[in-house]
Structure 1
Amino acid sequence: MATLKDKIIEVLYTVEDPEIPVNIYELGLVYDITIKDDNVVFVVMTLTAPACPVAGQIVMEVQQKISELEEVTDVHVDLTFEPPWTMDMMSEEAKLELDFL
């Protein structure tokens, strides 16, 4: 049976960066997922670039999709640029998909 964290990760696989056709989890944009008491979820994430024109859209999509999980009572998405994102943070699968290997 999947844990709540597993379900959250599964949801994050459905959120794609519009500029790079890969999901944000495989891109390494999600730095941390914390589940507090009463299933309040905190996500710390970044973007591929601080001036990303779709920043608000991606954050809203993450918040909305996690909120739709039945067990989740609240979601907080914190955007950070420390440490800065690099292509080294991508999973092997994302690198293969983008022909970086």
Structure 2
Amino acid sequence: MNLYDEIVAVLHTVHDPEIPVNIYELGLVYEIKIEEGGKVGIVMTLTAPACPAAGEIIFDVQSKLEALEGVNDVHVQLTFDPPWSKDMMSEEAKLELGFL
């Protein structure tokens, strides 16, 4: 498995505590950048700008990715452009939450 796939697998283990679906399937991860020297950049959003679990989610992403072999630095950038919507969820997430 390459580093990108390992990162995606780890992101599948991070959940918003209020929603029983991981952040990747929810469509909250907009971009994964891997640079030389093991630097990883994640551009992501939250289901709402005032999400009370924001700090916990970002910490979870950062600490789990830093534990990967070959990753030396992780930067998580929050964005709300474009704003998240239910349309960004995977089919699996929509099924899990009863939107299909």
Give the TM-score band, short-chain normalised.
over 0.9
Structure 2 residue 61 is the aligned partner of structure 1 residue 59: no
TM-score calculated relative to the size of structure 2: 0.98
Distance (whole Å) between structure 1 residues aligned to residue 18 and residue 83 of structure 2: 17
Distance (whole Å) between structure 2 residues aligned to residue 73 and residue 65 of structure 1: 12
Partner of 2:83: 84
Q: Give matches, 1:14-93, under 5 Å.
A: 14-93=13-92
- How big is the shift at 1:39? 1.6
Aligned length: 100
Letter in 2 for 1:69: L
**Corresponding residue SS for 1:81:** coil
Distance (whole Å) between structure 2 residues aligned to residue 39 and residue 4 of structure 1: 9
TM-score calculated relative to the size of structure 1: 0.97
Distance (whole Å) between structure 2 residues aligned to residue 74 and residue 39 of structure 1: 6
- How big is the shift at 1:92? 0.3
**Corresponding residue SS for 1:44:** strand
Letter in 1 for 2:17: P
- How big is the shift at 1:64? 0.3
| Structure 2 unaligned blocks of 5 or more | none
| Structure 1 unaligned blocks of 5 or more | none
Identity %: 67
Letter in 1 for 2:60: E
Structure 1 vs Structure 2 CA RMSD: 0.5
Q: Provide runs of 4+ in structure 1 moved above 4 Å.
A: none
